[in-house]
Amino acid sequence: MATISSTGIGSGLDVNAIVTQLMALESRPLTLLQQSQDSLNTKMSAIGTLQGRMSALRDAANALTSVSLWGQTTASSSNAAAVKVSTATGAAAGNYAVQVQALASNQTIASQAFASGAATVGEGTLTIELGAWTGTPATTGFTPKAGSSAVAITIGPGETSLEAIRDKINKSGAGVTATIINDANGARLSMRSSETGEVNAFRVTAAETTDDGSATTGLSTLGYTAIGTTSPMTRSQTAGNAAATINGIAIASASNTLTGVADGLTLTLSQVTTAAVEVKVAADTESVKTSINNFVTAFNEVANYIRDQTKYNPDTKVGATLQGDRLVGSLQTQLRGIVNQGSSASGVFERLTDIGISFTTTGTLAVNSTKLGDALGNLPELRKVLAADGGDAASSGFIDRFKDFATSILGSEGAFENRNKSLKGQLSLNSKSQESMERRLAQTEERLRRQYQALDTAMSQLNGTSAYLTQQLDMLASNSIKR
């Protein structure tokens, strides 16, 4: 709308000031709507923050009621350099005496010395087969590994160098890795079984495309057998099983990692020992303690925020953003109710105070570390009073109740979602009211300016008429005096 800037020129009235003051009065309802909008936005932000803190409380409750937490264990070894220990969920607590007599090993063989890695060996086929050498003290036979098949590697034209043969072996997937080792005598091809254990030994059969009848020349130089003393390649390490005793029971393993020797227990053997290594497995009470403290922290974040957002300032006589909010009041009551209602889930602990968790005067929770430490000594009953999922609230653990409650009010049909919908609805209605009010105010201002323009014009005309009459009267008076 264009502003009539000339208003008041004819009448001498400060029309702009008059209209501005009148519009300030007319705009008071709009100002109240804007203030209400600010208040609603502030309240919505506060509800969102509270919702986030309740979500953190739910996450802490989920962590404290998880099966994996209560199944965690810790393990220690008196000689970790020789025997390392790790546990999985469900590992049984216990003590183990572990003595290592032998480590599992790979079979390793080496060829004769060649001038260099680029030296030509010859064409033909290398057949590599995994299995176990049999017979003692002299090797008399070879038993192929169950589930494994011999792998034939063709060495054709352009592939006859020691380096090319190494690469073809490594690409074959035969369960053997090949490298070239350089020493004072030249380059040697070394083959090593990819996995440890007696069943991962191997033999190599070499067949030359054109057999020269000599095992010391051509591709034949890369053949290996442990039977007899005529093998072209020589063995520097024998494939063997790990040998150990656990609590006096003999254990043999193709790997130095012993998995499943006890429920959830894994031992990694690194050294032969002359005495037993003490391995201990115990329930991971420290993780449970940490999760309890994390939950208490999350609860206190909620409790402190509610207290701050609902307090009343007697000096300013102004309440905080969420004072009187029904959702917040109900939430606070229900949270306290969960703590105060006893639980029959455990036959030892009935209330949170029994395990060292109690309310403070400010409505937050505090942890008595001594009482909690005692409760951690009875982990099965502590788990019940915190995490048991009973048929009703009375037979459920305290943290399970918190989890169910938080999940409910944070759900798509929960109290927070409904509260947010209500606030959004109020904001939408407020916005529409402001738009309607702004249109009415614009129309009112336009009407007032038209009215004052008309008044200004009329007063200007009256002033002009008055001046004319005054002039005519003055002229009449002057003529009368002259006569």
Which residue ranges make up each domain of the chain?
1-72+284-345+378-483, 73-103+242-283, 108-237
Give the pLDDT score at 198: 97
Range 1-72+284-345+378-483 classified under CATH 1.20.1330: yes
Phi-psi category of residue 260: left, alpha or beta, with phi > 0 → left and psi -120 to 50 → alpha: left
Give the pLDDT score at 482: 63
Is the separation of the CB atoms in 355 and 288 below 8 Å?
Answer: no
Residue 463: pLDDT over 50: yes
Distance CA 265, CA 93 (A): 10
Is the separation of the CB atoms in 258 and 163 below 8 Å?
Answer: no
- Using a 10 angstrom Cβ sphere, with 0-12 exposed, 13-18 middle and 19 or more buried, the burial of residue 208 is buried
Q: What average pLDDT does the segment 199-207 reach?
A: 97
By residue count, the chain amounts to: 483
- For the ranges 253-267, 283-297, 459-473, the lowest mean pLDDT is seen at 459-473
Amino acid identity of 162?
L
Q: 């592939």: which residue's tokens?
A: 159
Report the chain's terminal Cα–Cα distance, integer Å.
Answer: 60
Backbone angles phi, psi at 382, to 5 degrees: -65, -40
Is the separation of the CB atoms in 178 and 191 below 8 Å?
Answer: yes
Q: Take residue 263 and report the two structure tokens written for it.
A: 């429920």
Residue 290: pLDDT over 70: yes
pTM of the predicted model as reported, rounded to 2 decimal places: 0.68
Give the pLDDT score at 244: 97
Residue 240: pLDDT over 80: yes
Residue 105 bridge partners (DSSP): 240
Q: Give the mean pLDDT of the chain.
A: 90
Instruction: Report which DSSP code applies to 91.
Output: P
CB neighbour burial string for 215-232, b if at least 16 within 10 angstroms, e if fewer: eeebbbbbbbbbeeeebb
Q: Take residue 471 and report the two structure tokens written for it.
A: 């002039």
371-424 pLDDT, tens digit per residue, is 999 999 999 999 999 999 998 999 999 999 999 999 999 988 888 888 888 888
Distance CA 90, CA 479 (A): 128
Distance CA 230, CA 318 (A): 101
Distance CA 261, CA 244 (A): 11
Is the separation of the CB atoms in 96 and 261 below 8 Å?
Answer: no
